[in-house]
Each structure stands twice: as structure tokens, then as C-alpha cells.
Chains A and B, each alone.
Chain A
Amino acid sequence: MSDGTLVKDKLLSLQKQFRFQWEPAQESYVLLYPEGLIKLPGSSGEIMKLIDGSKSVDMIVAHLEEQFPGVDLKDDVLDFLEHAYGKNWILTDD
């Protein structure tokens, strides 16, 4: 259970019950969970794609900065990850 603060050097993984995939019909990445669906368009999907149990917040930011050089995306990434963590979509490895 999350207490709202996301520790930046812990590894992130998807909540067990969730399934993340590309949906052609929605033209978007989505998260599937019991009886529901969350659409993750654009960058939110790209960020979520990196959550695989082997990367921390810092590593995800570094990865994206490498992918999109010169773009200042740190705050947006942090915002999204905090949101996802607060909603219990993602977990840290403790």
C-alpha cells in the first residue's frame, strides 16, 4: 500500500493485477485491471512502458532524457509516476 511518497531509488513494477499493453482499437497504451481500463495516451504510455521491475524513478528519467535529448521532461515524468503510485497502479520493491 502506498503512503503517497515515492522513493526515487527504489525499483518500480506494475501492480500484480494490472496488465499493460498497446491497444490498436484505442490507438493508445492501456492499463487493464479487474473490470476496467485506463487509457495512457502519448508520453504516459511511453513512461509506463519502462516500468518493468528493473528500473527506479531516477533510471526512468535518465532513460527518457537519453531518448529525447534536449527536452526538459523530468517534472512531467515525476508528476506522472507520483500519480500512478498514488493510484496504486505501480509499486516499489519493498
Chain B
Amino acid sequence: MEKIGSLPMIKPKGPLWVNAEITYKCPLHCVFCYNPLDYASTFKSELSTEDWLKVFKQSRDLGSVQLGISGGEPLMRDDVEIMVSEASQMGYYVNLLTSGIGLTEKRISAFKEGGLGQIQLSFQDSTKELNDFLSSTKTFELKSKVAKLIKEHDYPMVLNVVLHRLNIDHIDQILEMAEAMGADHVELANSQYYAWALKNRAYLMPSEEQLRKAEETTNRFREKIGNKMKLYFIVPDYYANRPKACMNGWGSVFLNVAPDGLALPCHEARMLPGLTFPNVRDHDMEWIWNESPAFNAYRGDSWMKEPCRSCDERATDFGGCRCQAFQLTGDAANTDPVCDKSEHHHIITEQIELAQKPQPPAADIKPIIFYRDDKNSKALIEENT
């Protein structure tokens, strides 16, 4: 991509990366889940197998090469096998993102046969399951079984662990478990504050001290274990003074399709007001990517306001994340408040100050935490209608 001088109005031919959120159904209830709060509203309008294959084919014709199959828990659907094999025949590199629940010998063999490229296993622990998780019982046994299946089928073990205030102090145990499971890559990413995680932000944001310790522990572990297991530690963006280059720019490389067929420039964009996101049931991918007003809304830099508009870093971070700007400042075209040049940056620093204060132990805050479950989602839908 050209990045010389001012940002051109980039209209790439097609998204390189397509993520298919094939269902928001999920047996888990992670407090940091990035699925939309009203995810339960999609249950009755999920795309069919044929719809998905059509989406894959049309995007592939536009030049998409990476396909993510995610959710919810994608394995809640029984047609993942067909999607994997059809998509890899089309020429995609297919990535499956799963909690591992529902991954049986039979299914993984079919995925392998169908040409699945990699499996990313997420290790989610809601506080509900925190004790269970840390005392190495049910969850760990299940994960170990799945990890073994993954290795037996000659896939590298890629483990994603979402860190937050309530589990970050146990990072040494988490790393030991990862080692015991034979993980090859471990991503320790701090929760990002969208959707359910934003609702629970006050309980999820680690203190600076917690972060520092966790990073130290990770570094020590890395030294000990060497090349056998690659570790990545990702701090929450609230602790930075420049925003992340969200999605590498709006409508630049990434396209997400939600279970109900809504095409989105990122997982979270559904929440943005004033934009009508196109549905793959009504439009083809070529129109969606190149012509739809929603995908063009924040391309390039003509939509930017000050301070981004005249900032020489705008080709590096694209002004940050539109959803974060909207969530925290009320206007998606504002500078992401993580940036210390933003007039709204105090929103971030206030949260960080709050996170330095001691909080009650996990067990005591249970009733306040919002579990990502169908009951809460339906209640939130009603609240907003």
C-alpha cells in the first residue's frame, strides 16, 4: 500500500482477510466477549451454508486469501466441515478460531482432510470458571484433550489467552498450563474494552503494577523456555499514548461478516450510528467492499477532524479505532481518545487512575459483572428498544 505524502483514497480491489462469524451461539459466558451486546438478536437470522459459500466465493474472486471462521463458538454449527473444505479448494488459507468445545477426533480429521490451515485455541475463563480453571480441573482437562488432538493432527498449538484484572496475577500458572499443553505460540492479550468488556471495564482493567509484574513473569518464562514456546504479551491500549492502527485502516484489508449477514469493516462496527451496513443477502461482495457508503465512510483521511487531519502520524495509526472513538467520545470521526493529542484523552487517564485503586476480590464482585449470556443479551436488547 502506498503511504507516501497524504493518504490516498485507497480502494483496494478486495479485502485480503475475510472473517466469518458464523454464529454468536456459544456455550461460554466470557466477561470480556467482544460479540455485540445484542448478539442474541441474530439467532433467528443466521446465514445458511449456501449463503456462506457464496460470500466466500465472491470475496475470493475479489482477491481475498485469508479466511477466519469464528463466532461465538463456530463449532456450534455442523457445517464447518463443508465451509473449510470448500473454502480451501477456492484457494483460501483457512483459520479456525475456537474455544475447543465441540472439537472431536472426527471433526478435526475432517478439517485436516478439508485443508484447514491452522487452529487457534482460545483459553477463556470467565470469573465463574476462574477457580475451576486455576485449580486445573474440568476446563483444563478439556483443553488438554483438545490440545492433544490438535498436535496429533500435526497443527501447531496456538493458544490465545485474554488477560484482565481478575486473572492477570495468575499468569505464571497460565503459562505453566500452556507449557503442559504443549503450546507452540501463546498470545497473552489484555482484554480490549468493547461490548461486554466495556460493560465490565472497571472490573477488568489491570493496574500498572499488575501489568508490570505480569510482563516480568512472562519475560522470565520466555528466558527459561527459549524457542520451544513463543510468547506474545499485549498491553491494553489504554496504557499507550498512541492508538492502535485499528484494522490497518477502515476498509483497507479486513471484512467481517456477522452471523446475520451484516458486512462490517471490523467486529465492533455494528454499534456505530448513522451508517447502514450492507447485508450479504442483499448485495454482492464487490459492491459491499468498493461501493457501499459504510465501507467508504472512514477510508482515506478526508473524514478526519483535528488533530488527526493535520497530524503527520495519520498514515501510521489512521487516527485509531472508530468504535473506540464513538464509544468514549460519542463521535466516530473523533480522534481515538487513547491518543494524548486528543482533547478527550482525559477519559482514558481517568480510567487508568481508577484502575490503580484496590478492588474487592473476584468472588465478591460476581453479582455486578455482566456475563455474556443469552438472558443478559435479551435484557439489553429490550433496554434499547
Binding partners A and B: yes
Spell out A's residues near B (CB within 8 Å). Answer: 1, 16-17, 19, 21, 23-26, 30, 32-37
Q: Given that A19-B93, A19-B117 are contacting pairs, would A32 and B65 also be in contact in the complex, using a CB cutoff of 8 Å?
A: yes
Q: Which one of A1, A19, A25 lies within 8 Å of B13 (CB-CB)?
A: A25
Answer whether A26 and B117 are a contact pair too, CB < 8 Å, given A1-B227, A34-B158: no
Which chain A positions have C-beta within 8 A of B118? Answer: 17, 34
B63 and A25 contacting across the interface, CB-CB below 8 Å:
yes
Residue of B nearest to A21 (CB): B91
Interface string of B115-132 (1 = CB under 8 A from A): 001100000000000000
Could you tell me if A25 and B17 are in contact, using CB atoms closer than 8 angstroms?
A: no
Taking CB atoms, residues of chain A closer than 8 Å to B207 are none
A8 and B168 alpha carbons, distance in the complex (Å): 48
Do the beta carbons of B93 and A33 come within 8 Å of each other?
yes
Can you name the residue of chain B whose Cβ is closest to the Cβ of A19?
B93
Instruction: List residues of chain B with CB within 8 A of the CB of A1.
Output: 227
Chain A hits for B17, CB < 8 A = 35
A23-B93 contact given A32-B117, A35-B17, CB 8 Å threshold: no
Q: How far is the CB of B119 from chain A (nearest CB, A)?
A: 10
15 chain-A/chain-B pairs, Cβ below 8 angstroms: A17-B117, A17-B118, A17-B156, A19-B117, A23-B63, A23-B65, A26-B63, A32-B93, A33-B117, A34-B117, A34-B118, A34-B158, A35-B66, A35-B95, A37-B16
Choose one: A16, A17, A32; the contact of B66 (CB below 8 Å): A32
Give the nearest-CB partner of A34 in chain B. B118
Contacts of A26 in B (CB 8 A): 63
Please indicate the chain A residues that have their CB under 8 angstroms from the CB of B65 in the complex.
23, 30, 32, 37
- Quick one: which of B120-162 are within 8 Å of A by CB? 154, 156, 158
A33–chain B nearest beta-carbon distance, Å: 7
Q: Is B14 an interface residue (CB 8 A)?
A: yes
* Residue-wise interface mask of B (80-98) relative to A, using a CB-CB cutoff of 8 A (1 in contact, 0 not): 0000000000010101000
Q: What CA separation (Å) do A30 and B158 show in the bound complex?
A: 23
